[in-house]
Structure 1
Amino acid sequence: IRDAAAFATAVEGAASLARKGWLATFGIVPTHPETGYGYIRFAEALDVANTFRVDRFIEKPPLADANNYVATGRHVWNSGMFCFTPSAILEAFAQHSPAVLDPVRRVWQDLRSQANSSMMEIDPALFAAVPDISIDYAVMEKAGNVAVVRGAFDWSDVGSWQAVSALCEPDAEGNRGQGARVAISTRDTFVHAEDRVVATVGVENLVIVDTPDAVLVAHRDHLQRVREVVSELKARGHDAYKLHRTVARPWGAFTVLQEGPGFKIKRIEVKAGGALSLQMHAHRSEHWVVVSGEARVTNGERVYSVQVNESTFIPLKTRHRLENAGADPLVMIEVQCGDYVGEDDIVRFDDQYGRVKA
């Protein structure tokens, strides 16, 4: 959204409706017959400028229907943005989707029980019990007090690589992109390059996304099918569908540099005052090399310091802990070796972030 003033005006209208008990959503006046967005058909006008009662939510339509929606002038794009009071949305869920609200409340109650911990963490089992359903299906399509604000501001959901591409300026051949790239005999192609040069030769109408996690090469006309890739990765049990190469943790972060049969190499950064849990692994040993900072290591019954350019070895099935002993970030390289190096091979005994259940 570039027109902040117009957006602020729309928010004021939505807030006015919300104070009256409406569940307000933001609709965007279509600029073209887009098939990648859902639509909202609105009914009569309400007493706040540019607001209407919602008549119907419409899923992403075929092109012929999208053309018709634009022509009628009674449809807006569904932005997926909402404005309502907590009491109004809770009442709506209680009335229309108690099967969603009840397990969410159990998640919330569990989080409240962790209020005195330094970090609160959602219980995976409780979260898995929450139905996988959009707010449109769960509430908005069922409730009678749903209104839409007709937004007069520019908007993109940035929900696809096509949308990201549209935010970049094209060159003379219609190519767009980010990062280091070389285009030879290339037309209408978007390239997102992060850590290395991406070169294209003799191609057109492609979207190429190169990240540390994965590489995507797709024809522009098939970008809506990227979700099928995620489904396939999930079916194969591949970590790529749920984990990035760099994973945040309460103590800092780790980045997987390389992984293969029987080994995994990580870059681990522990912030000042941070400490990993006292833990043990059943299937792997670990080699640690300190690159910067100072580490305090618990290794079985021993506690000792490891300085820059020093290393230590953590044997299989040994209780151990890594702590940052200094005021600067601790950076180290970890090499894991074993018959299984998955992230779930961990038993925690003590943790300053409350990740050990009583």
Structure 2
Amino acid sequence: MITPVLLCGGSGTRLWPLSRKSYPKQFAALIGDSTLFQASAARLSGPGFAAPMVLTNSDFRFIVTEQLAEAGIDPAAILIEPDGRNTAPAVLAAALYQEKSDPDGLLLVAPSDHVVPDAPAFRAAVQAGVAAAQNGQLVTFGIRPTYAETGYGYLELADAPGAGAPRPLALTRFVEKPDTARAEALLAAGNYLWNAGIFLFSARAILAAFRAHAPELIAPVQAAVDQGKPDLGFLRLAPEPWAKAADISIDYAVMEKAENLTVVPFAAGWSDLGDWDSVWREAPRDARGVALSGPATALDCDDTLLRSEDDGLELVGLGLKNIIAVAMPDAVLVADISRAQDVKQAVAALQAKPAKQAESFPKDHRPWGWFECLAVGERFQVKRIVVHPGAALSLQSHHHRAEHWIVVQGTAKVTVDDKVTLVTENQSVYVPLGAVHRMENPGKLPMVLIEVQTGSYLGEDDIIRYEDVYARE
């Protein structure tokens, strides 16, 4: 059996404003109805695959479990990284965790934000690399390039891969992301593949590679795994030893130095959706190259992406060419497609201002559901709050604000000091300043309410928690 290892801690700033630090692209439905994370988990499931192992950070842990549950996938383990240390420590942690139960078990390491339209073809490519991985090879998967891409690293083969079914080939070397002229030369040469960052190996083989080429990572990551603490079904890696691990990619730490490397070419379609240009390439387009998503309208446009993420916001393009326009409730991006790789510069500029849109998502996702701000003014704020069935907010109080709750869908079980009541649709309840309170959804459907906050300070940090079923501090 192959254990998928899904890496989902990145921020994807080149897909701002849809992808942000608080809710990055892997959890969004960029292509199709499923999120990229859900599609990745589904692609690496079925016959021959064990339950997945997931590495993520603390902020995303409940999003991961919620989206896996929606996809009908039960993870084998979810490892929580105390902070992002790049892919080498994450892969090493997964291998050390796997070693405890089956050191010869195969691990398929994959980012969780890729698009692979033909999942059966990809699974066939994985099976083509199994024998090599069982024999101690470090197998990587290379994508046959379809254009001169400057945003990917490349893999050089001794000879052109040729046509036919995927098969293991010898890897000559890794090539850094090229400039445009170099990318065109690599494409023309025919013996270069895009580096997809997907790997297949046994825990034993990759641990041997780490000991040979990056031994300094072993002690801190081993300690982080051994001292990790179970927490509500997660394994929190120990933060102190983890902080001593170098911030380095698996390519730099191990792969570029190893000699037991094998490549399986894959040509059935792939994208890492690294920028809006790649989203435009993967999206359905009309005869003039226009891709629309959400309430968007194009008039006399060519080679343009128009995407609205708000049902109440109609995005209209008129006479546009080579343009990306992405509208969110709180931010709009308009850019030339040729500058898609530079969107991260816009994020940096917003961070410098500072503007909350640089990192914060309009919907604030929590373990119990989510909320969004509908209106804000001096001494008041209005929110829509959605609570999942069976979920509960923490027992809490506030120093600076009172709250009015109006249930618009479902039933809320409300605690205010020593009084517990059921509040149904079209009913309301008042929570005075300083009162100890909690909101729960005892029903089987999502509960929706409107919250009106009034007071001198309305920040999210004005919360004193007394009890929390999600063990948040």
The Cα offsets for residues 243-290 of structure 1, whole Å up to 9 and x where unpaired, read as 322233322222333445554332212222211111233343322111
**Unpaired runs of 5+ in structure 2?**
1-115
1:187 equivalent in alignment to 2:302: yes
Q: Kindly indicate whether the alpha-carbon contact (under 8 Å) linking 2:160 and 2:190 is maintained by their aligned counterparts in 1.
A: no
Shift of 1:39: 0.9
Matched, 1:230 2:376: no
Query: What amino acid is aligned across from residue 173 of structure 1 in structure 2?
Result: R
In the other structure, the counterpart of 2:257 is: 142
How far residue 18 of structure 1 moved from its aligned partner, in angstroms, is: 1.7
- Aligned-partner SS, 2:254: helix
**Is 1:268 equivalent to 2:399 in the alignment?**
no
SS at match of 1:137: helix
Q: In 2 relative to 1, CA 125–246 (structure 1 residues): closer, same or farther, beyond 3 Å? A: farther
Report the Cα distance in structure 2 between the residues aligned to 1:218 and 1:97, rounded to whole angstroms. Answer: 41
Shift of 1:99: 6.0
Task: Provide the rounded CA distance (Å) in 1 between the counterparts of 2:237 and 2:351.
Answer: 21
Residue type matched to 1:57 in 2? F
* 2:149 equivalent among 34, 41, 55: 34
- The CA deviation at 1:92 is 3.6
Cα pair distance change 1:155/1:99, threshold 3 Å: same
| 1:112-138 deviations in Å (ceiling 9; x for gaps) | 432xx3x54858966993655433233
% identity of equivalent residues:
43
Contact in 2 for aligned 1:121/1:355 (Cα 8 Å): no
Q: 2:426 aligns to what?
A: 309
1:345 maps to what in 2?
A: 462
Computing the radius of gyration from Cα coordinates, the structure with the larger value is 1
Q: CA RMSD in A?
A: 3.2
- The Cα of 1:204 is off from its aligned counterpart by 1.7
Paired letter, 2:136:
G
Name the amino acid aligned to 2:201.
F
Q: CA deviation at 1:332?
A: 0.8
Shift of 1:192: 1.2
Matches within 5 A, 1:78-93: 78-93=195-210
Would the aligned equivalents of 1:291 and 1:331 in 2 still touch at CA under 8 Å?
yes
* C-alpha distance in structure 2 between counterparts of 1:192 and 1:345, whole Å: 35
Instruction: State which drifts further: 1-10 or 92-101.
Output: 92-101
Alignment-derived partner of residue 283 in structure 2: 168
Distance 2:424 2:146 in 1: 60
Which of 210, 213, 218 aligns to 2:335? It is: 218
Aligned pair partner of 1:8 in 100, 123, 130: 123
User: Which residue identity is paired with 2:265?
Assistant: R
Counterpart in the other structure of 1:294: 411
* Matched letter for residue 419 of structure 2: R
Q: 1:203 to 1:2 in 2, by over 3 A?
A: closer
Partners of 2:403 and 2:453 within 8 A in 1: yes
Distance 2:191 2:439 in 1: 60
Amino acid at match of 1:24: V
Measured against aligned partners, the alpha-carbon deviations of 1:314-358 in whole angstroms (never above 9, x if no partner) come to: 2334322111233432211112334443333333221122335xx
Ranges in structure 1 where 5+ consecutive residues have no aligned partner: none
Match of 1:71 in 2: 188
Letter of the 1:149 counterpart: V
Q: What SS class does the counterpart of residue 113 from structure 1 fall into?
A: strand
Query: Structure 1: how far apart are the matches of 2:182 and 2:354?
Result: 38
SS of residue matched to 1:83: strand
Across the two proteins, how many residue pairs are aligned to each other? 352
TM-superposed CA distance for 1:222, in Å, is 0.4
